[in-house]
Every structure is written in C-alpha cells, then in structure tokens.
Chains A and B, each alone.
Chain A
Amino acid sequence: MNLFKFHTVNAILIGLIVLFVLQSCGPDRLDDFSDESFSLVNQDGENVTFPDDFEGAPLVVGFIYTNCPDICSFITANVKKIYNASDYPEGTQFVLITFDPERDRPDVLKSYAGAFEMDREPFQFLTGTPDEIERLMQRVNVRKEISNQQENEDGESIYFLSHSDKILLIDSQSRLFFDYGGSMTPVDIVAEDLSKL
C-alpha cells in the first residue's frame, strides 16, 4: 500500500514538472492590454472598442497610414499574406489601424481596403478621433512625426510621416506576445508564431 502511494505521488510530481516545463516553453507575454479600452471606428463607420471587441480569438494588428506608398503597403500586404499562409487558430482576426486619423477617415480606409481586396471578414481597418488614436499609439508604442511636406499640382499640401514599422500578435485575452518589424519580418515566422497563440 505504501509503495502504491509512493508511486502515485511520484507520478503526480512528474506530471506537474512536465506541465511546468511545457508551459514555460511557450512564448513570453510582452504586455497586457486587457485593461485598456479605445473607442474606434471601422471602414464601414461602425463603432469598435479595441481590444475588447476582439477578445476571444487571436488578433494580428498592423499600423499604417494610407498616404504611405512603400512601407505601409508592405505591412498591409504582409497582414494579408499571414492570413493566406497561416494555419492560425480559428476565429483569428486581422486588423490595420491608422496613425493618421485626420486624413484616414472610414471612407478612405474602405477604399484602401478595397484596393488590397481586404474589405471583408476577417479584416478590419480602424481609425478614430485624433486624441483617441494618439492615446492608443502611445500605449502600443507606435511613433509618428511629419517628415516632409510638399505641394501637389493643385497647390494642396501633402505631408509624409516617419513612423514605427510594426505588426503585433495579441492573444485571445488581449495579451501581447509578439512584436515585429511589420515590413521586415518574414511572413512565415509571424505565421508560425500565430499558430502558437
């Protein structure tokens, strides 16, 4: 009887150790946005609360502005490639948030999403009031500043932004697990990490 107890205790201990090792092999949490709440609006003009409305499934988030010809189109295309390439958890959502809310209103985002054939589920393009977007960008550590300004043929001023290059992977409980260079990280690496969430 004593020997039986000894083996049972041993088995439980080994099980706990294995469980601990397996858990510690997973990705490290970088941040937690579960206590945050940002009032945004999507490309269809619908109100969206970030990240609350996305809880329950992993989230891929890129940060862009639509007057950016090179890096942001790269980030947008990468988000779509992750969607196409990945064997991701069911219900995963794909979001692009602008850091240029003054120009990127919902109709502009809708048109931009249409050009990339992303004006459909599971993609959403989000904007908001300048104050709310500023608050969100500070929280997720996305920086931007006007880099140069020029006039077009009609004499209208066009400005360009220097900005962070970022794609984030957030889990179903609004915890940040991966933070990538959005245009620089190979899509298959992001896709592989997404399958771990």
Chain B
Amino acid sequence: MNTKSLLFTLLTGLALLFIASCQQESNEQEASTKMPGEGIEVQEAWARPGADGRMSAAYFLISNFNSEDDVLTSIETEVAQNAEVHESYEREEGMMSMRDVPRLDLPAQSTVRFEQGGLHVMLMQLTRQLSDGDTFKLTLTFEKNDPITVEIPVRL
C-alpha cells in the first residue's frame, strides 16, 4: 500500500467516524428533546362568557406527544349548536377577520396554541349563557387518536 492509498484510507475512516459520532449525538439530542407525555393532551383550557343564543370562544394548548402526526377533525359540546375551529387574523392594519380551519394539523411531538386573536374554537349559538365561573365539556375528535373530552372553565 503506497502513501496515497494509506492517506485515503485514513481520511475515509476519520470521515466515517465523524459521521457516526454526529449521528449518535443527533439521536441523543432527539431523545433528550422528546416531549414528555403520551397521546394527545389539552392544557390551560378556558372560554369567554357568552349570551344564550350568541357566540363564545374556547382557548387551550393542545400537545401531540405521539411520534405520528394527527389531525383535529371535529369538536362537539352541549353548550353550543355548533363548534368549529377558526382563526382570527389581521387582514390589513387594524382590520380583523376570521377564517375557517376545518382540519387542524397536529404534528408529532408538537404543541399548537389556541389563543385570543388567533386559533380558537368558535362556539356558535350557545344553548345557555356562559358566565364567569361556569364550566362545560368539549369533546375533540382526531383522525388517529381516540376522542378526548376536556372540562373548560369560563372566565373573563
């Protein structure tokens, strides 16, 4: 084996070693940043007060701890004739608008925030007044995971 071949073999070996160590580091990093928890969880849920027959909105954080993506496909509650995911946005300066989000992607290992002025569950035509201190149940249905029901407190 001449010097050139020896150098080539040495360099190739070093490169392979480097790639392997990077891969290991990346795996360790992935393992260390894996979100704690299982399935799909809803946290920090709350809703605005609303008059009977009118509207309200619910907000929360929804986390998909699974390694597979999922989709929020529908929402049901007894306190509204219809519940849909909508998103408020500023169409132009100072002019607020809203769009329908019929299917909400929940990427694996991620959290989606429902918040005022952004994503929210629109509760249409309330079947009763929702006042500060009330609670109600909301059932979320997904493409892959089982449905989950969460208790939503009403507050100002």
Contacts and interface: CB of A to CB of B under 8 A. Distances in A.
Interface string B21-59: 000000000000000000000000000111111111100
A163 B51 contact: no
B77 interface: no
| Chain B binding surface, main DSSP class | strand
A162 B98 CA distance: 7
17 contacts: A69-B48, A70-B57, A70-B116, A71-B96, A71-B116, A74-B48, A74-B117, A108-B54, A114-B129, A115-B129, A115-B131, A116-B49, A117-B156, A148-B99, A164-B95, A181-B94, A183-B116
B70 to A, nearest CB: 24
How many A residues are at the interface, by size bracket? 20 to 34
Interface stretch (A24-32, A34-42, A53-61, A152-160): A152-160
A155 to B, nearest CB: 12
A120 B129 CA distance: 18
A26 to B, nearest CB: 25
Contact of B124 (A158, A165, A183): A158
Given A160-B98, A164-B95, A183 B52 contact: no
Given A73-B49, A117-B131, A152-B124, A66 B98 contact: no
